[in-house]
Amino acid sequence: MKGTLNRGSPQSESRPTPQRPERIPDAAFAFTVCVEATERLDRFLADQLALSRTHVGRLIADGAVRVNGERARASRRLSRGDEVHVRGFADDRPLSFLVPRARPLRIVYEDDALMVLDKPAGLVVHPAPGHWDDTLVNALVARGTPLSDGATGRPGIVHRLDKDTSGLLIVAKTDEAHRVLARSLGQRKIERVYAALVWGHVRSPLEIDAPIARHPKDRKRMMVLATGRNAKSLVEPVAQFGTCDLIRVRIVTGRTHQIRVHLAHVGHPVVGDPVYHHGGSRRVTGGQRPVAQTIETAALRQALHAALLRFAHPVTRETIECRSEWPADLLPVLVAASNEDLLAGAKPLEYLGFFE
């Protein structure tokens, strides 16, 4: 439930009266919570102060937010009577300030307008609470790559991948390229194809058209919900193994965790998915259970990889197609699933006909 901050006397619990925060002499803001409870501190302050969650998250991480005189966590939920102090509301440091952090990057395609890179698993795409200076954007800044303005804190980022999903990502270098690419993305003209190892057997192509929304009780999770945003994924089987399949997934829309949520929804969760696993290897019964457990042990992360991008260049309109093979860190789980050492070779997706 959302609350309202107020320095006056407590208001009615059912109808809190919104008031502007009062500026106090030390260039901070002070509030008293006058409702029974609030949602997470970062979301609450972002809503009440009309700031981005990126800005609020940075203030909290820097220790600029105190609750009852103590440093607060972003996940803290406030209660009636809590005293909240926020320093640095008029932060002199621009929100677009980005700390350079050099790291190796695998560039698949690059010209003056854009680049396509192969993101490794474990790398966050843009700064956010908990990852202010160790993201892909920070690495691009350190590399000296020119980036479009984009959203605050997300220069150049046309679309995203989850932290533990590897694969191809487009970065815009100019504002014009970003506008054209974003429009193409919105018009569903950028083809994004993923390779995934999933539990069970996908015996025929599937069209998954199911709306996705945030889980009502766990804001870090998504779920299929009738009131969610439209989401569509197209699934095709590529190779069938003993307890799981390698599949090809084309996303028509691009919602948060879309592929993982959709596949779990239709009974084929991604192998190694720590959130939407729906039981993982425990789903497998009988004599195949030990094999399934071996596969699960080999999966150090979710077996999901953005393997192909196809789109019209924003300037030349030439068709750009980029491919990325199954990543090295997921080779052990593919070998365990297939029981075929040959797939430990350099190009298992090509060998299995994924790109055909």
For residue 36, the SS3 value is: coil
Side-chain-side CA neighbours of 160 within 13 Å: the count stands at 19
Query: Choosing from 42, 118, 162, 245, which is the catalytic residue?
Result: 162
Q: Give one DSSP letter per residue of 183-219, joined into a string.
A: HHHHTT-SEEEEEEEEES---S-EEEE--EEE-SS-T
CA distance 338 to 346: 16
Q: CA 211: distance to chain centroid?
A: 17
How many residues in total does the chain contain? 356
Question: Known catalytic residue: 112?
Answer: no
Is 60 buried (19+), middle (13-18) or exposed (0-12) by CB count in 10 A? Answer: buried
Q: Give one DSSP letter per residue of 149-161, joined into a string.
A: --BTTBTTBSS--
For residue 113, the SS3 value is: coil
CA distance 54 to 31: 21
For residue 345, the SS3 value is: coil
For the chain, the helix, strand and coil percentages under 3-state DSSP, each to the nearest 5: 25, 30, 50
Query: H/E element holding 304?
Result: strand 304-312
Q: Are 273 and 231 in contact (CB under 8 A)?
A: no
CA distance 80 to 52: 24
Helices (H), 50-174: 53-61, 136-143
Pairing of strands 166-172, 304-312: parallel
CA distance 2 to 36: 10
Active site residue ranges: 162
